[in-house]
Amino acid sequence: MSSISKIEKNSSYLKIIWNDGEESKFNFMWLRDNCPTAHDKDSRHRMFNILNVSTKINPKKYSVNKDGKLEIEWSEGNHISLYDSKWLRDNCYTIKNKKEYVSPYELWDNSLQNNLDSVKINCKEIMDSDEGLIKWLKLLHHKGIAIIENAPVEDKSGFKILNRISHTRETFFKTPFEVINIPKPNNSAYSAHALRNHMDLPWFENPPGYQFLHCLINSATGGDSSAVDAFAVADYLKKNEKDVFDILVSVPLKFRDKDYTQEAVRSVYGTAISLTKDGDYNDIRYSIATLDALDCHPDIMEKVYKAHHRFGNLLHDKKFQINFRLKPGDIFCFNNRRLLHGRTEFDPASGKRHLQGYYIDRDEIIGRLNYLKN
């Protein structure tokens, strides 16, 4: 266990030298802002207001007490802070910023086709234990895909399973939304047509994070499912076709939906690929069906179309895409802002195809996983 060997005061930070030789720099304001007494013990929300002290605040006295804690008497506010050495080490931003970033994502391509069992999980396992729930959440977070088997096929029975994670996200499509063939559909999913690989609701400012398609009936000819890890495709472009990748991460595209049932026109701009602060993949925004007339600068329109064309072709390439058929009791679960999904055309005269769909925000998936792992 790390312990504090030495403390040095500098103009704006305390330098801590640890017993293993590592060094940490802790800014004075950061230390005051993160005093253990700053947070409410129940809500864990910060109650201390850093604006109540000046930017010149500094340790008037500092030492390691008999319990090994860093003790600071501050120059303002007649306040003493005690910091556990383990907490300081775990939250040391000096050491964190020296470490190489490791992505939580496990990218995959068509080779997953031969190992689909690796992303399957039995419904009973999820419902009966937290270990099963964690296994499901890890698949969703790391691989972006999971297929639950042997779920009930009663109407709206998906709620009980999904509530093991959290609440569902409501949209104007209602919850669950019924993926069936209907006359005059307000969305192409509610037809028998083939669907190209796409994400749902790209014309929302904040599209749903995860989607769950619960198969109740699938007796029609056709209607097989497809999926592609768009993060893997983006990664391929980043490594092999950087000019295409740079266009996709920098030029916003306009997505639009006009829904006669809601009497609403929704539109938003977003890049096809967005990145995190660490340069990792954050979101994919892709749907040929709802891409609006582009209004990029005329000098780059040709490049944008060529990049979009290349991206779209790879998103349907056999090297990256997997195909499977959902059976009653299956729930196809996936990261809606990473994994694109589609289906083949089906014949409604040959049988019935009925899926019920649900959304859950990404925050709920990751938040639940973090809680269960702690």
**Residue spans per domain, the chain:** 4-96, 110-373
Q: What is the mean pLDDT of residues 107-126?
A: 98
Same fold, 4-96 and 110-373: no
Least confident of 33-37, 96-100, 189-193: 189-193
Residue 214 is inside which H or E element, if any?
Answer: strand 210-218
Considering the domain 110-373, what is its CATH architecture? 4-Layer Sandwich (3.60)
Does pLDDT of 192 surpass 70?
yes
The full DSSP string for 65-132 is: -TTS-EEEEESSTT-EEEE-HHHHHHT-HHHHTTSPP--S-----GGGGGGGGGGEEEHHHHHH-HHH
Does pLDDT of 181 surpass 80?
no
Confidence of residue 183 (pLDDT cuts 50, 70, 90): very low
Position 319 scores a pLDDT of 98
Position 260 scores a pLDDT of 74
Least confident of 121-130, 173-182, 317-326: 173-182
3-state DSSP helix/strand/coil % of the chain, to nearest 5: 30, 30, 40
Question: Which tokens go with 246?
Answer: 């740079």
Does pLDDT of 262 surpass 80?
no
Confidence of residue 172 (pLDDT cuts 50, 70, 90): confident
What average pLDDT is seen over the chain?
Answer: 94
- What is the distance between the alpha carbons of residues 59 and 67, in angstroms, rounded to a whole number? 19
| Cβ proximity of 190 and 343 under 8 Å | no
Share of the chain above pLDDT 90, in %: 85
Place of tokens 């349907």: 316
Share of the chain above pLDDT 70, in %: 97
Topology adopted by domain 4-96: NE0471 N-terminal domain-like (3.30.2020)
Position 40 scores a pLDDT of 83
Confidence of residue 188 (pLDDT cuts 50, 70, 90): low
Position 191 scores a pLDDT of 67
Position 190 scores a pLDDT of 58
Does pLDDT of 160 surpass 60?
yes
Does pLDDT of 186 surpass 50?
no
